[in-house]
Chains A and B, each alone.
Chain A
């Protein structure tokens, strides 16, 4: 197994793709898509990061154990983000009725 050498043409192609993605993310930011703006921005950033990892960082041509280490990083980051957000994004202020048990009691007494 000898070292894989990627061609400069490939690197320049990846660079151009990254430039196009950068322009696209700035362009998309000015369109009002409500809460989907953040989704699109992060999707484009993830696409760019994937290109950098696969080609500039040679992950595509790395041994399986190196790829496993990269996968672990992403997986554990995912656990941290998903579990923390599942808590923070589902917290809501109590409404007055929920906050005052007496109101609940009163409602139950007089249906």
Chain B
């Protein structure tokens, strides 16, 4: 049986039914806020305790890729909002178009994230035995940076080592949190992409319109929430120590 918005017995009106679904989604998002909140708390405490190492770690991230991804994700939020609007006003073909655009932008985000992870692997920045925060400043060629930038990075790292003799361990803490938080965020994006695929299938079958668009609406809430998580991750991970 396909659900196309018939009224269930426990509700008085379709509007009440939709409000209930929306409220349920928000309650789920509250648990997500506290779930991600715990990770942000952990990050903040460690950043406070090991600010030199976290500054050096943050400056190794690629601002162009991270900033570009921020733009891509906010754009996908816009297309998602437009998909919900298309459903509300009954433009059935636009729903499919905007959902596909949202999925594509989400895919671009995840692709860029994969490139960044690969870069961190090449630069010996995965926590573990081969982790070496000084790798790129000592081997500019495989990292693809100029000798000039490498020299600059070397001074920056030397200064940080003076403040914190255990810089290499504490930088691993930064990267553990970086991979943990961005990984969890990416997992949410993958789940969101799965939901979008299902929505696209339903939208192609013309199941959504002004009378019934609850799935588009509450998947939209989820997608925007994931966007908000990134809105906080971007400055905290990428921008924190750029002024040095």
20 contacts across the A-B interface (CB closer than 8 A): A3-B15, A5-B85, A8-B85, A22-B70, A26-B67, A26-B239, A37-B243, A41-B235, A41-B240, A44-B235, A49-B232, A52-B227, A55-B81, A56-B227, A66-B22, A70-B26, A80-B34, A81-B44, A85-B45, A88-B45
Take A38-B240, A73-B33 as given contacts and tell me if A89 and B48 are in contact as well, using a CB distance cutoff of 8 Å.
yes
Residue contact B221 to A57, C-beta cutoff 8 Å: yes
* CB closest chain-B residue, reference A48: B231
- B30 on the A face (CB < 8 A): yes
Chain A residue total in the interface (Cβ 8 A)? 51
Contacts of B37 in A (CB 8 A): 77, 80-81
Per-residue interface assignment for chain B, residues 224 to 239, with 1 indicating a CB less than 8 Å from any chain A CB and 0 otherwise: 1101100110111001
Take A5-B88, A69-B23, A70-B26 as given contacts and tell me if A31 and B15 are in contact as well, using a CB distance cutoff of 8 Å.
no
Docked CA distance A80–B234 (Å): 21
Residue contact A19 to B82, C-beta cutoff 8 Å: no
- B147 on the A face (CB < 8 A): no
Residue contact B235 to A45, C-beta cutoff 8 Å: yes
Contacts of A42 in B (CB 8 A): 232, 235-236
Contacts of B44 in A (CB 8 A): 81, 85
- A103 on the B face (CB < 8 A): no
Chain B residue total in the interface (Cβ 8 A)? 49
Residue contact B239 to A19, C-beta cutoff 8 Å: no
Docked complex: B74-88 residues within 8 A CB-CB of A: 74-75, 77-78, 80-82, 85, 88
Docked CA distance A57–B26 (Å): 10
Contacts of A66 in B (CB 8 A): 19, 22-23, 26
